[in-house]
Amino acid sequence: MAQTGRPLSPHLQVYKWQVQMVTSILHRTAGIILAVGSLIIIWGLVALAAGQDAFATFTACATSVLGTIVMIGWTLAFFYHLSNGIRHLVQDTGKGYAIESFVRSSWLSIIAAIVLTVVVWAYVLMGAHA
């Protein structure tokens, strides 16, 4: 891109805060987190193929305190990218662009991501203490 020094659109600093800005930025952020996090899946599969000791090291890391925090963050990024991704797929058919429904579906994808993350981790953590 040519370095013209001109201001670039969108001028985020002059916009009023809106939920649909946040969902758009978070979608990309979550996508980047998932791309990096995908390497954890590869690590797990390689450990599974390598043998019992390697897999025990992997599960010990994944279930440590730090590992659990990473996993919860990863789950949230996954469910957000999933629910907002489905929202984008629906919008690709031309539906849901009226301002009211656009804002409503923005909130819906955020709330769905949080609810699904809580449900999954309630299942995992309650199962661990059962």
Binding mask 68-107 for other proteins (x = CB under 8 A): ----------x---x--xx-xx--x---------------
Q: Does 22 bind other proteins (CB under 8 A)?
A: no
- DSSP per-residue string spanning the chain: -----PPPSP-GGGSPP-HHHHHHHHHHHHHHHHHHHHHHHHHHHHHHHH-HHHHHHHHHHHHSHHHHHHHHHHHHHHHHHHHHHHHHHHHHTT-S-SHHHHHHHHHHHHHHHHHHHHHHHHHHHHHHH-
Q: Does 9 bind other proteins (CB under 8 A)?
A: no
Using the rule CB under 8 A, give the single segment among 16-24, 45-53, 99-107 that binds other proteins: 45-53
Q: Which of 38, 57, 64, 101 binds other proteins (CB under 8 A)?
A: 38
Q: Does 49 bind other proteins (CB under 8 A)?
A: yes
Q: Which of 14, 42, 65, 66 binds other proteins (CB under 8 A)?
A: 42
Q: Tell me, what amino acid is at 71?
A: M
Q: Does 31 bind other proteins (CB under 8 A)?
A: yes
Cβ atoms of 30 and 81 within 8 Å: the answer is yes
**Which stretches of the chain bind other proteins, using CB under 8 A?**
1, 3, 28, 31-32, 34-35, 38-39, 41-42, 45-46, 48-49, 52, 55-56, 78, 82, 85-86, 88-89, 92, 120, 123-124, 127-128
